[in-house]
Amino acid sequence: MKAGRLYPTIWRWHFYAGLFVIPFVLLLAVTGGFYLFKPQVERWEERAYRDLPVAENVLPQQQLNTALAAFPGARFDSYRLPRQAGDAAMIHLAMPDGRSMRDVFISPQGELLGSMDSQSRIMEVDKRIHGQLLMGARGSWLVELVACWAIFLILSGLYLWWPRDRMFAGVIWPRLKGRGRVLWRDLHAVTGFWISGLVLALLITGLPWTSIWGGAFSSIRTELGLVKGAQEWTLGGEAATDEGPRPPVVGLHPRHDHAAMMAMMPPPNAAGAGAGIDNMVARAREEALAFPVIITPPGGPGRFGAPGPMAWTIRSDAAVPPQRTSITYDAATGQEISRDKFADSHIIDRAVGYGIAWHEGQLFGWISQAVGVITATGLILMAVSGFVMWRRRKPADALGAPSPSALPARMGGVAAILLFLAALLPLLMLWTALHPPAVVS
């Protein structure tokens, strides 16, 4: 197919997709860039609960009793071990209303230092904006649609960028001496060329979390028998179960189905029964797992809110996947039941785990954070430059969309593109079928 026939059609699609995506790209780039610094922000947020005296320490059971006494009717969800001596323990409680959660900080001496609404913590709010636009399941569908269109924008942008009559200036580097539309066009195209791989990696690693694509991916895995253990990532903000993805629950905390969790948890006076929280904390310290180390009682929630086993669980939720370990103990005898390491999970789970760590900027520490900031900054520059280009060329009485090709593109090439995208991004193609940009005037 000759480029001259397809180019106007691709440009027209690129334009309409860009108009739809630009505001969301700006929001997601800002919130995603901020989320890269989750460890630093949470450490700052908990600054008042570190470097405390270590003399006259009490047992974890007494810390738990203090937390439960401060919130009558609350139920024990999990106990997070202090990162180091002198830091407070964080006890996660489910409130009596069955919906809200609270992070309670108890000093080594068993004193209540303070608490936070789990859903109002800085990074939880940022995550809900980034993943669900504060709209629950509907917001996650919209974010997925934006991600699909963003993938199309990158691919179509590379096609439009492909050099046809230029060598390096305006292709590999921008013509900074140019003015007006030339400069804005170069900033848009050259930036897109340099960060396209990073953006595609970011978008692709985010697809397994989505409701439609991720749900289909999870279902196909289950049908093909490519599953080993529980899925360790959420779908559209809700955890998947062993039988497949859990339907989104609108209005609930993205990591917890509170009604199910409250029904399964032991009552407050049984929180230390069986093997006991004291013994579990002692064992967790002996294991020397990577921070954060979470201890959940029998029937408590798993890593992403899915119902956990009827046994004590000690797990590391370390940001770097190979450091994660989960150990379960019999609730009555304290005997070890199972030990699951990241290396023991299915190869697909390991691949997605590495992708999640890359997406969140935690795989290689500050290096991943720096790469994430560069990617987010590039996305913002592309969105702004694309908007400026449109406003500069837009007539006062028209939308300013590229004119349709005088010679329509051959349907073979267009059909091939549509079939390829339909196989990979079904939500994108559903939207395209309802709103075909090639026929918009």
- pLDDT at res. 257: 44
Q: What is the pLDDT of residue 270?
A: 44
| Region of poorest pLDDT, from 2-16, 33-47, 231-245, 262-276 | 262-276
Q: Which residue has the higher pLDDT, 8 or 183?
A: 183
Model confidence at 105: pLDDT above 70: yes
Distance CA 290, CA 357 (A): 15
Residue 217 clears pLDDT 60, i.e. is over it = yes
**Cα–Cα distances in Å, from 294 out to 58, 59, 153, 169, 372?**
19, 16, 41, 54, 27
Helices 137-161 and 3-35: angle between axes, nearest 10 degrees:
130
pLDDT top residue among 358 and 429: 358
* Residue boundaries of the structural domains of the chain: 3-36+137-211+365-439, 51-122+238-342
What span, in angstroms and rounded, lies between the C-alpha atoms of 10 and 409? 10
Distance between CA atoms of residues 56 and 70, nearest Å: 21
Mean pLDDT, residues 175-197: 88
Residue 256: name the closest of 306, 209, 293 by CA. Answer: 306
Q: What per-residue confidence (pLDDT) applies to 76?
A: 95
- pLDDT, tens digit (0-9, with 9 covering 90-100), for 59-97: 999 999 999 999 999 999 999 999 999 999 999 999 998
pLDDT of 10 > 90? The answer is: no
Burial class (CB in 10 A: 0-12, 13-18, 19+), 180: exposed
Q: Residue 178: what pLDDT?
A: 74
pLDDT for 247: 35
At 48, the pLDDT band (50, 70, 90 cuts) reads: very high
Q: In this predicted model, what pLDDT tens digit does every residue of 228-276 receive, in sequence order?
A: 777 777 776 664 443 343 333 333 333 344 444 444 444 444 444 457 9
Q: How far apart are CA 127 and CA 116, in angstroms?
A: 17
Q: Which of 45-49, 153-157, 199-203, 419-423 has the least mean pLDDT?
A: 419-423
The better pLDDT of the pair 236, 30 is held by 30
Minimum mean pLDDT range among 40-54, 214-228, 372-386: 214-228
Of the listed ranges 137-151, 287-301, 396-410, the one predicted with least confidence: 396-410
pLDDT above 70 coverage of the chain, percent: 80
CA distance 118 to 254: 11
For residue 169, name the pLDDT band (cuts at 50, 70, 90).
Answer: confident
Question: What is the residue whose two structure tokens read 């959940």?
Answer: 296
Q: What's the CA gap between 271 and 61, in Å, rounded?
A: 9
- Assign 3-class secondary structure to the chain: CCHHHHHHHHHHHHHHHHHHHHHHHHHHHHHHHHHCCHHHHHHHHCHHHCCCCCCCCCCHHHHHHHHHHHCCCCEEEEEECCCCCCCCEEEEEECCCCCCEEEEEECCCCCEEEEEEHHHCHHHHHHHHHHHCCCCHHHHHHHHHHHHHHHHHHHHHHHHHCCCCCCCECCCECCCCCCCHHHHHHHHHHHHHHHHHHHHHHHHHHHHHCCHHHHHHHHHHHHHCCCCCCCCCEECCEEEECCEECCCCCCCCCCCCHHHHHHHCCCHHHCCCCCCHHHHHHHHHHHCCCCCEEEECCCCECCCCCECCCCEEEEECCCCHHHCEEEEECCCCCCEEEEEEHHHCCHHHHHHHHHHHHHCCCCCCHHHHHHHHHHHHHHHHHHHHHHHHHHHHCCCCCCCCCCCCCCCCCHHHHHHHHHHHHHHCHHHHHHHHHCCHHHCC
